[in-house]
Amino acid sequence: MKNELVLLLIILIPIIGALVLPLISRISAAFRNGFSFAVIAFSFALSFLLLPLALKNQVITIFKDFPLGFNFVFTADSLAVGMAIVVSFISALIVLYSFDYIKHYENQNEYYPMVVLFLGAMMGLVFSGNLILLYVFWEVTAVTSWRLIGFFRKKEHVLAADKAFLVTVFGSLLMLLGFIRMYQETGSFDLFTIREVVKLHPISNLTIALILAGIFSKSATLPFHTWLPDAGVAPSPITALLHAAVLVKIGVYVFARIFIATIPISLSWHTIIPVIAGLSALVSAGAALVDTDLKRIIAYSTISQIGFIFLGFSLSNEIGIAGGLLFILMHGLAKAGLFLCAGIIEQNTKTKDITQLGGLFQAMPVTAVSFLFCAFSVMGIPPFGGFFSKYMIISGTLQKGHLAIAAAFLFGALLTILYLFRAFNLVFLGERKNPSLSVKEGSPLMLICVASFALLSLLGGIFIAFPNQIAQITAQQIMGIK
CA distances from 415 to 31, 50, 276, 341, 422 (A): 45, 39, 18, 21, 10
CB burial of 281-312 (b: ≥16 within 10 Å; e: otherwise) equals bbbbbebbbebebbbbbbbbbbbbbbbbbbbb
The reported pLDDT for the residue numbered 265 is 83
Please give the Cα distance from 256 to 325 (Å, whole number): 9
Confidence category of residue 243, pLDDT binned at 50, 70, 90: low
Residue 20 pLDDT exceeds 90: yes
Q: Number of folded domains in the chain?
A: 1
In a domain, 21, yes or no: no
* DSSP sequence for 361-416: TTT-HHHHHHHHHHHHHHHT-TTSHHHHHHHHHHHHHHHTT-HHHHHHHHHHHHHH
- CA 398 centroid distance within chain: 26
**Residue 320 domain-assigned (yes or no):** yes
Examine residue 285 and state whether it is found in any structural domain, yes or no.
Answer: yes
pLDDT, average across residues 274-293: 94
Using CB atoms within 10 A of its CB, is residue 200 exposed (0-12), middle (13-18) or buried (19+)?
Answer: exposed
Query: Under 8 Å CB-to-CB from 439, ≥6 apart: which residues?
Result: 348, 349, 360, 363, 364, 432
Residue range 37-65: mean pLDDT, rounded: 92
Q: With bands split at pLDDT 50, 70 and 90, how would you rate the model's confidence at 241?
A: confident
Tell me what pLDDT residue 156 has.
Answer: 85
Residue at 174: amino acid letter: L
Percent of the chain past pLDDT 70, that is, above it, reads 98
Residue 245 near residue 95 (C-beta atoms within 8 A): no
In a domain, 368, yes or no: yes
Kindly report the backbone phi and psi dihedral angles of residue 438, in degrees, each rounded to the nearest multiple of 5, phi listed first.
Answer: -80, 115
Mean pLDDT to the nearest integer, 349-367? 91
Cis amide prior to 274 (ω within 30 degrees):
no
Asked if residue 429 is part of any domain, the answer here is yes
Structural domain including 434 reads: 268-482
Cα–Cα distance list, 97 to 77, 107, 313 (Å): 30, 17, 32
Q: What is the mean pLDDT of the chain?
A: 91
pTM above 0.85, yes or no: yes
Residue 367 belongs to some domain of the structure: yes
Segment 225-248 shows an average pLDDT of 83
Distances from the Cα of 482 to the Cα of 78, 465, 473, angstroms: 12, 19, 8
In a domain, 296, yes or no: yes
Q: What is the pLDDT of residues 64-100, one digit of tens each?
A: 877 665 778 999 999 999 999 999 999 999 999 999 9
